[in-house]
Amino acid sequence: MNNMPKTRTQATGPTSRMDGKRILLEVKNLKKHFPIKSGILFQHEVAAVKAVDGVTFHIYEGETLGLVGESGCGKSTTGRTILQLYRPTAGSVKFEGVELTELKGSALRRMRRKMQMVFQDPYASLNPRMSVGRIVAEPLVVHNIGTKKEREERVAELLELVGLNPYFVRRYPHEFSGGQRQRIGLARALALNPKFIVADEPISALDVSIQAQVVNLMQELQENLGLTYLFIAHDLSMVRHLCDRVAVMYLGKLVEVAESEELYTNPLHPYTQALLSAVPVPDPVVEETRQRIILKGDVPSPINPPVGCNFNTRCPVSVDVCFSQEPELIEVLPEHWVACHRVI
């Protein structure tokens, strides 16, 4: 039996977070290809969905990195591959210096205590046949932590932490609203006292009025518990005030990574510019002059991505080199990385 994790509160506020700049998670050239198989009796691989195709970034301890991109560009796959829910096709994921891709069995299980996930669909992410108490206690049971009584106490503590009445332990998920379910999912994710949480569009399925509540709760928890988030979202407006830095993804690759304010005020990649042009601006004067950049065409298939820069089919400023050579993600300004031939 293991000891019950204590929710440690951290004195340092959000401002001091970035000072140390210790890297918590390092992702290098991560790839996840899903094979497409064919054949009736003897299946063989005929192609692959290149859901994530060479992604490199890092996350500092205590920060929130936003991962933004259109539907199907591989954000969820990135998050899941980092947590080793999918085993990567290639590349490396280092968490606190430990190479996760090489871990197996109980070593991996031990690491799982430090990283958790919050899901998009509040209805599918809780087992309908388990009571809230069992759902939140599951991580403790799996890791054989504490006695039954200690677990009950911990569950009550966790429910309180996410703003739910501990009295709810014996209720079942269907009795809760979407926002409450997301809180239950958060409580489960926090049970083992993780350092890092992948939040896969945790608010996209919620009513706008409830989105803010959940975001605020997540921020509060981050400040109090010193959490690090990878916050996945499909549009930029949602992550602006929540994220310290934002990574923009397109068709399995990162096109731009920068600190939040920098990205919003000085987007360099044409794809980021197009995404930002779709975000309404609160200032009516600026909003008046806002020009929407409409991208031509559709997102190409991740099975057969374009040669060269994979954005070249839709890019308004593409030149010859974009069709032959793949641009690398380069730090053009301090903490501002872009993958575009036209930027340098």
Q: By CB under 6 A, what part of segment 216-275 binds ligand ATP?
A: 234
Listed residue (324, 300, 294, 325) closest to 313, CA to CA: 300
Q: Which of 48, 90, 130, 225 binds another protein (CB under 8 A)?
A: 130
- Secondary structure tally for the chain: helices H, strands E: 11, 12
| Number of residues binding to ligand ATP, judged by CB under 6 A | 13
Please provide residue 316's backbone torsions phi and psi, each rounded to the nearest 5 degrees.
-75, -15
164 lies in the site for another protein, by CB under 8 A: yes
Residue given tokens 């503590």 in the structure block? 157
Residue 71's binding partner among Mg ion, ligand ATP, another protein, none (Cβ under 5 to 8 angstroms by kind) is ligand ATP
Distance CA 197, CA 187 (A): 12
Of 61-69, 157-165, 243-251, 329-337, which segment contacts another protein by CB under 8 A?
A: 157-165
75 lies in the site for ligand ATP, by CB under 6 A: yes
CB neighbours of 341 closer than 8 A, spacing ≥ 6? 309, 319, 321, 322, 325, 327
Residue 51's binding partner among another protein, Mg ion, ligand ATP, none (Cβ under 5 to 8 angstroms by kind) is ligand ATP
Distance CA 318, CA 312 (A): 6
For 310, the 3-state DSSP assignment is coil
Residue 160's binding partner among Mg ion, ligand ATP, another protein, none (Cβ under 5 to 8 angstroms by kind) is another protein
CA–chain centroid gap for 308, Å, is 27
Q: Which of 49, 136, 140, 263 binds ligand ATP (CB under 6 A)?
A: 49
**Nearest residue (CB) to Mg ion, 120 versus 272:** 120
310 lies in the site for Mg ion, by CB under 5 A: no
Q: C-beta of 282: minimal distance to another protein in Å?
A: 25
Residue given tokens 């992550």 in the structure block? 239
155 lies in the site for ligand ATP, by CB under 6 A: no
Whole-Å CA distances, 37 to 44, 48, 306: 5, 8, 22
CB neighbours of 340 closer than 8 A, spacing ≥ 6? 255, 256, 268, 269, 270, 309, 327
76 lies in the site for Mg ion, by CB under 5 A: yes
Give me 29's structure tokens.
């050239």
Residues that bind another protein (CB under 8 A): 41, 43, 80, 83, 85, 108-109, 112-113, 115-117, 119-121, 124-131, 138-139, 142-143, 160, 163-165, 170-172, 174-177, 179-180, 183, 185, 188, 192, 210, 213
Residues that bind ligand ATP (CB under 6 A): 34, 49, 51, 69, 71-77, 234, 302
